[in-house]
Amino acid sequence: MTDRPLRVLVAGLGNMGRSHALAYHRNPGFEIAALVNRSKPALDSALSGYEILPDFETALAELKPDVASINTYSDSHADYAVAALEAGCHVFVEKPLATTVADAERVVAAAKANGRKLVIGYILRHHPSWMRLIEEARALGGPYVFRMNLNQQSSGPTWETHKALMQTTSPIVDCGVHYVDVMCQITDSRPVEVRGMGLRLSDEVAPDMYNYGHLQVLFEDGSVGWYEAGWGPMISETAFFVKDVMSPNGAVSIVMENAKSDDIDAHTKTAMIRVHRARRGADGRFAEPDLDLKMDGEPGHQDLCEREQAFLLKAIREDLDLGRHMQDAVSSLRVCLAADESVRTGKPVRL
């Protein structure tokens, strides 16, 4: 393959789509062919010169891009991704990969059948601090207890965005795939059972949807974990950000101070990682103090989007094997969708 810039069609200009479009604009390895969105939202001045087209399939057929970047609502991810892969495009698709496991597997199968690269937007995989958290937790050894949440007290435009997302996807599925993926990377064990509970806390949410959810996952090695997510003006900011891993040998935690729950940078920033070791001396007291790892200079949200797209470019240019990447995306989605099923049926789901 030559080193000419790859022409990319960017579909969806919500928060993530705009960030990814800016990442392509700034990366000399890409060239934006066009943007796709049904409306014409306010854009960063750097993006103002690009054409905005209303229909993805038409743009795909007419422009014949090298890459399709899919950042639309979740219910269109699978169909758009398969169409792009079958048209010969490499694909970046925001999480979740699909709204059903069958559709997620259909996308992966299309990538393999057409020999194209498929990268799913698991942004924490490109975050040096989260990579360090996983490394420190694995060094402790399992089995593990995972305690994680991401509650967002939202109002105004953010609440409107959350309500739009909940037309197709619950909070525990939308963001849960990130944190279940982290759990799976740490324990490297198969999830075997999932339980979920949830509640609709607003009349502005559809009767068959819930804006607060909690999932519990049991792993084959004995590890257990929970993840909690709530969206809306009624959500408490008390303990809204818990990222905690415990094992017989200690604990690793993310410590955050003075963050707001609806600040998108706070969703990925870590501020500090605290490593606690359970080992005690002859006097029964802890043998060493907790280790606080300052995460100065860590990337912000836009920087992380640029790292994701640099990885996509590397995967294409260097023909990286993305088999495990795709498999892991399906696995974390399977857990979160099982939790959603459990919320709706009131019964645990065996995997």
- Output the pLDDT for position 260: 58
326 phi, psi to nearest 5 deg: -70, -40
Where are the domains positioned within the chain? 6-121, 125-302+333-350
- Output the pLDDT for position 270: 54
Q: What percent of the chain has pLDDT over 90?
A: 90
What is the average per-residue pLDDT within 173-182?
A: 95
- CB neighbourhood size of 169 (10 A): 21
Query: If DSSP states are collapsed to H, E and C, what string results for 21-79?
Result: HHHHHHCCCEEEEEEECCCCCCCCHHHCCCCEECCHHHHHHHHCCCEEEECCCHHHHHH
Determine which of 143-157, 273-287, 292-306 has the lowest per-residue pLDDT on average: 292-306
Amino acid at 79: D
- CB neighbourhood size of 161 (10 A): 15
- Output the pLDDT for position 261: 52
**How many whole angstroms separate alpha carbon 198 and alpha carbon 229?**
9
**CATH fold of 125-302+333-350:** Dihydrodipicolinate Reductase; domain 2 (3.30.360)
Q: Is the pLDDT of residue 267 over 70?
A: no
Q: Which of 25, 14, 130 is nearest to 77 (CA)?
A: 14
pLDDT in tens, 326-342: 999 999 999 999 999 99
**How many whole angstroms separate alpha carbon 293 and alpha carbon 80?**
42
What is the average per-residue pLDDT within 145-167?
A: 96
Question: HSE on the CB side for 286, CA within 13 Å?
Answer: 10
321: Cβ contacts below 8 Å, ≥ 6 apart: none
Q: What's the pTM?
A: 0.91
pLDDT in tens, 53-109: 999 999 999 999 999 999 999 999 999 999 999 999 999 999 999 999 999 999 999
What is the average per-residue pLDDT within 310-321?
A: 98
Which DSSP state fits 206? Answer: -
282 phi, psi to nearest 5 deg: -65, -25
**How many whole angstroms separate alpha carbon 119 and alpha carbon 329?**
9
Can the peptide bond before residue 233 be classed as cis, meaning omega within 30 degrees of 0?
A: no
**Cα–Cα distances in angstroms (integers) from residue 217 to residues 19, 183, 188, 244, 335, in the given order:** 32, 10, 14, 15, 8
- Output the pLDDT for position 256: 78
295 band by pLDDT with thresholds 50, 70 and 90: confident
What is the enclosing helix (H) or strand (E) of 117? none
- Output the pLDDT for position 262: 55
Best CATH choice for the domain 6-121 from the list 3.40.50.720, 3.30.420.40, 3.30.700.30, 3.40.50.2000: 3.40.50.720
pLDDT in tens, 240-263: 889 999 999 999 999 877 655 555
pLDDT in tens, 204-222: 999 999 999 999 999 999 9
What mean pLDDT is reported for the chain? 94
Q: 3-state DSSP: the chain helix, strand, coil percent, rounded to 5? A: 40, 25, 35
What is the average per-residue pLDDT within 102-123?
A: 98
Determine which of 131-140, 173-182, 207-216, 267-276 has the lowest per-residue pLDDT on average: 267-276
Which DSSP state fits 284? Answer: S
- Output the pLDDT for position 53: 97
**How many whole angstroms separate alpha carbon 337 and alpha carbon 284?**
45
Max CA separation in the chain (angstroms): 74
